[in-house]
C-alpha cells in the first residue's frame, strides 16, 4: 500500500492507497505529524510513500520523519507525465504539480482546468496534448474576509455563508456578498474564458472550499476534494514503475 501526505500550513491531510483506490484518509494538525504517521504505520503495511510541501516542516521534524518513512519528496524536478511549459518551472508549487498529475490520469487526452479553492485559489490548465501552460493565483475565501477586516478600521471579521442574494442589506451581508459573489463570479468568469478557447474543456474543483462552492456554481464541474492526494499517488506509482 502507498501512503501519500500533503503538508499544509497548519494541518496535514494523508491517505492510504491500495493501488489507485483510497482506503482511508487522515487529517491532523501539523505538529502531530510524527505521532500520526506512527499510528498509520501501525495500522497499515506501507510499501512506499510520498510527501508534498515537506519544506514547510522544520528540519528536525523532517529528519525524524525520514527515520519512519523512506519517502519520495515531490519537487520541481520530480518526474511527471506532462510537459511543463511554465516559464519558471522551478517556482511551480508542488501542490499544483500533483493536481496536474491527477488530471493526466483521471482525464487523459482532455483539456482540463483545475481549480483548487483553499488558502489561495489556483487555476491550472493542462491541454489534451499533455502540455501544462500555467494558470492563475488569487486570494482564497478566508483570506478575503481577513483582508477586509485587517485593512479597515470598522469592518468585522466574518466567515463564509451561502449567498442568499447578491445585494447585501447590511454590513455583514454586504461583506459576505462581496467575498462570496466575487469568488463565484471570478471562477465562472475564468471557466468561461477557457471555454471560449477550448470548447471541450473539463473543469475540476478541489480544495478545502470545494463543497461550499460547488453547490453555488452554475458551470458543469467535477468536484473532488481528494484530487491532490490522487495526484501524489500517481507520481509515486510513476516513480516506482521507473525504478
| Binding site per annotation, positions | 6-13, 86, 93-96, 116, 119, 171
Closest CA to 3 of 59, 71, 104: 71
148 vs 154: CA distance, rounded Å: 9
Which is the catalytic residue, given 95, 131, 200, 209?
Answer: 95
Return binding residues for substrate: 86, 93-96, 171
DSSP letter string, 223-240: E-TTHHHHHHHHHHHHHH
**Which residues are part of a known binding site for ATP?**
6-13, 119
**Residue 200 appears among annotated catalytic residues:** no
Cα 139 to chain centroid distance, Å, stands at 14
Expressed in angstroms, the distance from the first to the final Cα of the chain is 17
Residues belonging to the binding site for K(+) are 116
User: Assign residue 28 a region: left if phi > 0, alpha if psi is -120 to 50, beta otherwise?
Assistant: beta
> What are the catalytic residues?
95
Amino acid at each position: 500500500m502507498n501512503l501519500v501526505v500533503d503538508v499544509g500550513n497548519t494541518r496535514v491531510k494523508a491517505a492510504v492507497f491500495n493501488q489507485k483506490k483510497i482506503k482511508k484518509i487522515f487529517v491532523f494538525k501539523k505538529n502531530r505529524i510524527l505521532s500520526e504517521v506512527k499510528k498509520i504505520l501501525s495500522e497499515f503495511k506501507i510499501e512506499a510513500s510520498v510527501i508534498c510541501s515537506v519544506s514547510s516542516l522544520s528540519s528536525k521534524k523532517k529528519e525524524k520523519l525520514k527515520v519512519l518513512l523512506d519517502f519520495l519528496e515531490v519537487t520541481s524536478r520530480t518526474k511527471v507525465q506532462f510537459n511543463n511549459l511554465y516559464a519558471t518551472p522551478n517556482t511551480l508549487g508542488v501542490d499544483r504539480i500533483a493536481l496536474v498529475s491527477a488530471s493526466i490520469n483521471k482525464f487523459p487526452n482532455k483539456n482540463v482546468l483545475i481549480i483548487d479553492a483553499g488558502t489561495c485559489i489556483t487555476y491550472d490548465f493542462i491541454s489534451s496534448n499533455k502540455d501544462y501552460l500555467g494558470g492563475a493565483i488569487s486570494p482564497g475565501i478566508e483570506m478575503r474576509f481577513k483582508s477586509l477586516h485587517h485593512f479597515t478600521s470598522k469592518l468585522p471579521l466574518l466567515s463564509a455563508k451561502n449567498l442568499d442574494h447578491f445585494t447585501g442589506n447590511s454590513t455583514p451581508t454586504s461583506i459576505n456578498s462581496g467575498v462570496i459573489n466575487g469568488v463565484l463570479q471570478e471562477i465562472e468568469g475564468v471557466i468561461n474564458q477557457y471555454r471560449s478557447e477550448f470548447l471541450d474543456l473539463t473543469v475540476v474543483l478541489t480544495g478545502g472550499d470545494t463543497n461550499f462552492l460547488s453547490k453555488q456554481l452554475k458551470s458543469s464541474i467535477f468536484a473532488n476534494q481528494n484530487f491532490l492526494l490522487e495526484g501524489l499517488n500517481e507520481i509515486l506509482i510513476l516513480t516506482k514503475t521507473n525504478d
